[in-house]
Amino acid sequence: MSRVLQRIKGQIFVNDSTWSEERRRERALVRRLDIFFMSYLCLSAIVKYLDQQNISNAYVSGMKEDLALYGNELNYFTTYFNIGYLICIPISSYVINSVIRPSIWMPTMELIWGILTGCLAAAKTAKVVYGLRFLIGFCEGTAWPGTVILLLSWYTPAEIGLRFAIYQTATYLGGIFAGALQSALYTNLNGHSGLAGWQWLFVVNACITVAVAGWGYIGCPDYPNRPNPKGKWLKAHHAETGLRRMGNVGRALPVGWSWKTAKSLVSRPQNWAIWAGYTIYNQGGTGNGYFNLWLKSLKTDGHARYTTIPIACSCIQIFALLVVLPTSDRFRVQWPFLIVLSINGLIWASVLAAWNVTDGVKMASYMLLNLSGPGAGLFVGWVGTLAKHSAEERSAIVASFVTTYYAITAGMPLKVWPAKQAPHYNIGWNYATANYVAIFPVILLIVYLEKRQERFDARKLDPEAIDDTTSEEKHDPYDDLRRRDIPVDQALSEPIPRV
């Protein structure tokens, strides 16, 4: 028993006597990243979702009547936000790799969108809201891709899934918090100081967002080869350890875009395959968002039969994230889990496509579809392996994920999930089923291309494969990073060489 307590104590204080010095340094770095960096990411995820949902919450809390919004203004609020979001994503993925530190760019954009959110409280017309929503969407476009890029620059393949699961969980918690905040503000502050409840919602959201942005200037670590100088929690030896960790898993860090990198991005078939896989998989899950409309159609004596079921769906998604993604970390592979999740999605989407089943079966189908939610995180982890040779390619692939998703969902629901068909979407569930069928060959194609690239890289690095290779060319570029006597200034100033 005492030995177990000693191990627990060692885990807590990062001083387990059975660890090597290298492992102790790694655990100390991961602990600091989890405390400082992940706290910023989780808070940012919560306020990001909060700021995205506040327009709908405000609309049903008096904004509609006060601003005379009796047309399709709410739809246009989302449209203008998505346009700004789409424009920013490719710009941001380039900027944080080559122009401005993430610890400056990301919190500053968050600070701006927080201030703009507060300005919504002073809006008097729909046109003013259109402009503000466009600018807020533009600023928010940097958050998700920037987060993924930084996670892939610090955490290894055995750690990334759990951290992404925690980040996504914070997003769901933001949705739960948004509804509670709306209710509390409307109840307690409506009419206070001459502001309506929906105006207070924007003001409070803005204050929270600005506070989180302020923490981002310190909590964002930048990259191991270019650490954040304001993050005093990240010492020089921590950055050196982070550099070694990325070198040991063969993952390159940002060195700036070049024509060679751009050519590699568009010429590697696995990049196109995983982009197609992510897009198809997420289109299969687009029907999950229409669960509420089906619930509203179920009435007893003129009243809604269910009210809290959507929260249960969020709990299922959180459970799936915290089980599937850490398990994929354990085995350091993603595609078998994607196959299982796709089978789950195919089964329940097919049931809903048939539709002629009892309400209980429909309820179970809608809820169990949420078990396929971790698929996006698995694709992100897979990108870290497929594009480990280039941080710039990783950022471009992640940016293409989000850009394509928003571009498709901007117009696709009008044809595939038309409101007039609610709650029975004849086209929509057939569309979802077809996507879940199509994902299987794409996943297998990505696996084949990944294995082919591994064989190619092995032949290229095999000393016996090329007889005239000089001793200098045979040198493993990561050997210097594994040396225990590597100078600190060299570790911090030179990027990890690429394979």
3 belongs to a structural domain: no
Tell me the CATH number at 227. 1.20.1250.20
**Position 13 in a domain:** no
37 contact partners, CB below 8 Å, separation of at least 6 = 150, 154, 219, 220, 221
SS3 at position 379: helix
- 437-491: per-residue pLDDT in tens? 999 999 999 999 999 998 988 887 765 544 444 444 444 333 344 333 333 333 3
Other CB atoms within a 10 A radius of the CB of residue 431 amount to: 20
Do 173 and 278 lie in one domain? The reply is no
Model confidence pLDDT, tens digit, residues 194-215: 888 889 989 999 999 999 999 9
Measured CA to CA, the distance from residue 40 to residue 37 in angstroms comes to 5
Alpha helices in 332-470 (DSSP H): 335-354, 359-368, 375-386, 391-416, 426-461
- Each residue of 456-468: pLDDT tens digit? 888 877 655 444 4
Annotate 100-167 with DSSP letters as a single string: S-HHHHHHHHHHHHHHHHHHGGG--SHHHHHHHHHHHHHHHTTHHHHHHHHHHHHS-TTTHHHHHHHH
pLDDT band at 342 (very low <50, low <70, confident <90, very high): very high
334 and 478 assigned to the same domain: no
Instruction: Give residue 61's domain range.
Output: 19-256+463-499
Residues 161 and 294 in one domain: no
Mean pLDDT of 396-422: 85
In a domain, 14, yes or no: no
CB 321 within 8 A of CB 169: yes
Examine the pLDDT at 118 and tell me if it is beyond 60.
Answer: yes
- Bond prior to 423 in cis (omega within 30° of 0): yes
Instruction: Kindly give the interhelix angle for 335-354 and 269-284, rounded to the nearest 10 degrees.
Output: 40
Say yes or no: 303 and 216 in one domain: no
> Are 107 and 131 members of one domain?
yes
Same domain, 238 and 156: yes
Instruction: Report the candidate in 407, 168, 429, 79 with the shortest Cα–Cα distance to residue 275.
Output: 407
Are residues 314 and 352 both part of a single domain?
A: yes
Predicted local distance difference test score (pLDDT) of residue 288: 83
The pLDDT of 129-141, averaged and rounded, is: 93
In this prediction the pTM is 0.84
CA–CA separation, 275 and 295 (whole Å) = 33
Q: Could you give the CA distance from residue 253 to residue 302 in angstroms, rounded to a whole number?
A: 59
Collect all residues with Cβ–Cβ distance below 8 Å to 176 and sequence separation of at least 6. 311, 314
Question: Are 470 and 456 contained in the same domain?
Answer: no
**How many domains does the structure of the chain reveal?**
2
Asked whether residue 379 falls in the same domain as residue 471, the answer is no
Instruction: Tell me if 379 is assigned to some domain.
Output: yes
The rounded mean pLDDT for the chain is: 84
What's residue 383's pLDDT?
95
pLDDT surpasses 60 at 417: yes
Residues 364 and 489 in one domain: no
- The Cα–Cα gap between 130 and 146 comes to 25
Continuous segment of H or E residues that includes residue 222: strand 222-223
In-domain check, residue 93: yes
pLDDT above 50 for 495: no
Q: Give the C-alpha separation, 38 to 219, whole Å.
A: 8
Residues 394 and 488 in one domain: no
Residue 401 lies in a domain: yes
85 and 63 fall within a common domain: yes
